[in-house]
Structure formats: structure tokens, C-alpha cells
């Protein structure tokens, strides 16, 4: 039985471990919090810092394979483990490109992948020298996640809101739709792609509000999206799961936004909506089994459950009974004991044939189910 480790114990690790029960695998998790969502679902939990070289190296050297559920891990330790024969998914070389948004943008340019125009700035002084580039989005090179580390700067008057750190200043794009495509690549280079999903974002939190799958897009645009996502994922030269986020601008052009080298929020719907979920698919890759089917069983919509504004403390799920009574609706709570404004606490997937009904139910879930505190 293979020993496989996961760096990070959040909700992605939790859902990955829920799928692991179907496979002959001994699971290990490292996180600095023994109460994290994934802690009680693995065979072995190790308390440690995923950013610390020694912690990651000692954790990984006993394993056959190791994967991540967040990018902010110690890449140097993963490189050494790879040299010593541990299989690392994604490969450290791919992780180095993706975990830094400056490197990520340079990679897109080098691979001739379409992306928004950008400049690299090292500090606020350099940011101020690029006022003619506005309106733009400033993205921290490292450390950003879930909408944090991104600052929209529309006019020179807003430059004071910017980050005083190495970052990418990305020209603001007139967006028609935001799309995500998950690409699976096995150790032999074989690929499988999930149908594109359409994402609708909360403009205040800069977090996913709800999404619908499959995305409603013209066939030629679909082909272009799929071709770009596949080219990008293969160019990283690594087996694993890659979530490619793209824009369709108001002229119908396709632009790469960002890439995540792991299972992703935009793929949660695959648990109920697809024959092989993104989590099942990753286990197939980690354990070197054949790739699964990415075909949809039914169209789906997904709503993130976010901690309500003004509530911090022990989590209470107000309206849970009503949502659980809705047909073809599936609730996933992440087991986080404490809520706070904007924190991801769970998600709800709705499946069905009628797109309008999926959107209507998504809005109903958003209205009814609120994460508050005791």
C-alpha cells in the first residue's frame, strides 16, 4: 500500500481524504493546527509548518508520493525529496512557476499564451511610476489567496491603496465572462479536461459567489478555451491537477488569468456532477491508475458558504434545514469550528437539467443559508 502525504489540512485536503477511502492508500497530512478540517480523516497527522524546510523534508522522506492543497509550501524541501525518489505532485519546477505571480506571468508570455498586458513593480515607488498604465489590478507576487493580495487601482488617486512589495500590475480587462477549466495530467503525459465552468464573483470580497457548469459559451470560444488550458498545463511539464482560470473579454478574446497547481474551488461541483470528481482524479494520478471520466452526469451550480459580515466566533449554520430539504442539493461543510467575515466555511452543489433552475436555486441557497456565530 502506497504512503501518500498532503501538505496542508484545509477543506481541499479534507475532500481529497474523503475520496481516499475508495483506494488502497495510507494517508498522511501535515498542518500546524491539530483542529484543521483534514486532521481527523487521515491515517497519520503530523503537526508542522508546511513552509519550513526541515518540517517538509522530514514529513516527506518516509512517503512514496506527496501533494499539496495550497501553494505556500517549502519548494526547496520538495526539490530535495524529488531528488531522493519521492514522487511530488505537482513537480517542484512547476510549483516554482505558479506560486509566484510574477513568474507565472512571465511563463505565459514565454509560452505565447494570451494574457492581459502587465508590468512588474518591486515597490510602491515603482507602482507610482506606472500611473499611465491604470486602470489596473495589482497582484502580490507571493502570499495572496482567496482574493487577498489583489488590489484594484482605477485612478492615480487610488495608488496609496497599492502594495509596497514585488507584484504584477495587470491592465484592467473589460470582462464578459470568467471561466475555469480543470486539466488532469498523469505521469505518462496523458490528459483529461473537465468542461469549462462559468464563475460569478462577489465584487466586494473578490471571492467566488456562485458558478454554473457547463459554461454557456459559443463552440469556437469553447475550443479556444480548451486548447489554451491544455497547452498551458502541458507546458508546466508535470503530472497533477491544474485549474486554469481564464477571461473572455467583451470582444470575445480569451485571456489566461491565473493557474492553480492543485484541486480547486471551481471543481467542487465535480463531486456530485461528474463521473470522476477532481478528487478521485487526483488519487488516480497519485496512485498511477488510469484517468477517470470527466463527463458530466448532469449540469450543476455551486454556491460558496462564506462567513457573514459582522459575525466571528463558533460557527452556526442558519437555514441549514431548509437547504437540506431542497431537491438535488448537496451540502458540504468544512468542519471549521470558528467563522469570521469572508471565511470559506462550506459549499452547496445543485444538480439538474434546467440552467435557469440551477441559477434560481443557487440564489435561493445564498438567501437562505447563512454562516453566523453563536
Q: Looking at the domain assignment, is residue 33 inside a domain?
A: yes
233 and 149 together in one domain: no
d(CA 334, CA 304): 11
- Interval 338-367 mean pLDDT: 95
Domains in the chain, number: 3
222 and 131 together in one domain: no
Q: pTM for the full model?
A: 0.94
Q: Which of 214, 184, 222, 216 is nearest to 197 (CA)?
A: 214
Q: Which of 171, 191, 210 is the last residue of a domain?
A: 171
What is the band of 14 on the pLDDT scale with cuts at 50, 70, 90? very high
Q: Residue 204 has what pLDDT?
A: 66
CA atoms within 13 A on the CB side of 84: 15
Q: Which of 155, 171, 187 is the last residue of a domain?
A: 171
**What is the tens place of the pLDDT at every residue in 38-48?**
999 999 999 99
250 and 362 together in one domain: yes
Spatial contact of 350 and 328, defined as CB atoms under 8 Å apart: yes
Residue whose grid cell is 501553494: 71
CA-based max dimension of the chain: 60
- The answer on pLDDT for 355 being more than 70 is yes
149 and 182 together in one domain: no
67 and 144 together in one domain: no
- Interval 255-267 mean pLDDT: 96
72 and 212 together in one domain: no
**What is the tens place of the pLDDT at every residue in 57-112?**
999 999 999 999 999 999 999 999 999 999 999 999 999 999 999 999 999 999 99
Q: Looking at the domain assignment, is residue 235 inside a domain?
A: yes
Q: Determine phi and psi for 344, rounding to 5 degrees.
A: -75, 120
Q: Residue 142 has what pLDDT?
A: 87
221 and 342 together in one domain: yes
Q: Residue 349 has what pLDDT?
A: 98
- Interval 109-118 mean pLDDT: 96
- Residue 240: exposed, middle, or buried by beta-carbon count in 10 A (0-12, 13-18, 19+)? buried
What is the band of 146 on the pLDDT scale with cuts at 50, 70, 90? low
CA atoms within 13 A on the CB side of 134: 16
Q: Looking at the domain assignment, is residue 105 inside a domain?
A: no
Spatial contact of 55 and 30, defined as CB atoms under 8 Å apart: yes
d(CA 183, CA 211): 18
CATH number at residue 277: 3.30.470.20
Q: Which of 89, 106, 128 is the last residue of a domain?
A: 89
d(CA 45, CA 34): 8
Q: Looking at the domain assignment, is residue 112 inside a domain?
A: no
Cα torsion at 281, 51, 311, 150 (round to 10°)?
Answer: -80
Mean pLDDT of the chain: 95
d(CA 14, CA 334): 8
- Residue 58: exposed, middle, or buried by beta-carbon count in 10 A (0-12, 13-18, 19+)? middle
Residue 368 lies in domain: 175-373
Sheet holding 118-121, edge to edge: 118-121, 167-171, 136-140, 150-153
Of 52-56, 158-162, 260-264, the poorest mean pLDDT is in 158-162
Q: Residue 192 has what pLDDT?
A: 98
Of 147-156, 181-190, 246-255, 287-296, the poorest mean pLDDT is in 147-156
42 and 122 together in one domain: no
232 and 360 together in one domain: yes
Spatial contact of 361 and 350, defined as CB atoms under 8 Å apart: yes
144 and 181 together in one domain: no
Q: Residue 335 has what pLDDT?
A: 95
279 and 308 together in one domain: yes
246 and 313 together in one domain: yes
Q: Is the peptide bond before 135 cis (omega within 30 degrees of 0)?
A: yes
Q: Looking at the domain assignment, is residue 94 inside a domain?
A: no
Percentage of the chain beyond pLDDT 90 is 90
**What is the tens place of the pLDDT at every residue in 197-227?**
999 877 666 666 789 999 999 999 999 999 9
The contacts of residue 135 (CB under 8 Å, 6+ apart) are 152, 153, 154, 155, 171, 172
Amino acid at each position: 500500500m502506497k504512503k501518500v502525504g498532503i501538505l496542508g489540512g484545509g477543506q481541499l485536503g479534507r475532500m481529497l481524504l474523503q475520496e481516499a477511502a475508495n483506494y488502497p492508500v495510507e494517508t498522511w497530512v501535515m498542518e500546524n493546527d491539530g483542529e484543521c478540517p483534514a486532521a481527523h480523516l487521515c491515517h497519520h497527522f503530523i503537526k508542522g509548518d508546511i513552509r519550513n524546510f526541515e518540517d517538509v523534508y522530514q514529513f516527506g522522506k518516509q512517503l512514496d508520493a506527496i501533494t499539496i492543497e495550497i501553494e505556500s509550501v517549502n519548494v526547496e524541501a520538495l526539490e530535495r525529496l524529488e531528488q531522493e525518489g519521492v514522487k511530488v505532485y505537482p513537480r517542484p519546477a512547476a510549483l516554482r512557476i505558479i506560486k509566484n505571480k510574477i513568474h507565472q506571468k512571465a511563463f505565459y508570455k514565454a509560452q505565447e499564451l494570451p494574457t492581459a498586458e502587465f508590468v512588474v513593480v518591486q515597490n510602491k515607488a515603482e507602482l507610482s511610476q506606472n500611473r499611465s498604465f491604470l486602470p489596473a489590478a495589482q497582484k502580490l507576487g507571493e502570499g495572496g489567496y482567496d482574493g487577498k493580495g489583489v488590489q484594484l487601482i482605477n485612478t492615480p488617486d487610488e495608488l496609496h491603496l497599492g502594495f509596497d512589495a514585488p507584484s504584477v500590475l495587470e491592465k484592467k480587462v473589460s470582462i464578459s465572462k470568467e471561466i475555469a477549466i480543470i486539466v488532469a495530467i498523469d505521469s505518462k503525459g496523458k490528459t483529461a479536461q473537465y468542461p469549462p465552468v462559468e464563475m460569478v464573483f462577489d465584487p466586494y470580497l473578490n471571492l467566488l459567489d456562485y458558478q454554473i457548469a457547463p459554461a454557456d459559451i459559443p463552440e469556437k470560444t469553447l475550443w479556444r478555451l480548451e486548447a489554451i488550458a491544455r497547452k498551458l498545463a502541458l507546458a508546466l511539464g508535470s503530472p497533477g491537477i491544474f485549474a486554469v482560470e481564464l477571461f473572455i473579454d467583451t470582444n470575445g478574446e480569451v485571456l489566461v488569468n491565473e493557474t492553480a497547481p492543485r484541486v480547486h474551488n471551481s471543481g467542487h461541483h465535480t463531486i456530485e456532477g461528474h463521473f470522476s470528481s477532481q478528487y478521485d482524479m487526483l488519487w488516480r494520478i497519485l496512485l498511477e491508475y488510469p484517468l477517470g471520466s470527466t463527463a458530466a452526469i448532469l449540469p450543476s451550480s455551486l454556491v460558496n458558504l462564506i462567513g457573514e459580515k459582522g459575525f466571528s466566533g463558533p460557527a452556526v449554520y442558519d437555514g441549514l434545514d431548509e437547504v437540506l430539504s431542497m431537491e438535488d442539493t448537496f451540502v458540504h461543510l468544512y468542519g471549521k469550528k470558528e467563522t469570521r467575515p469572508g471565511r470559506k466555511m462550506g459549499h452547496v452543489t445543485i444538480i439538474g437539467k434546467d440552467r435557469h433552475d440551477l441559477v434560481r436555486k443557487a440564489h435561493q441557497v445564498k438567501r437562505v443559508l447563512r454562516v453566523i456565530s453563536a
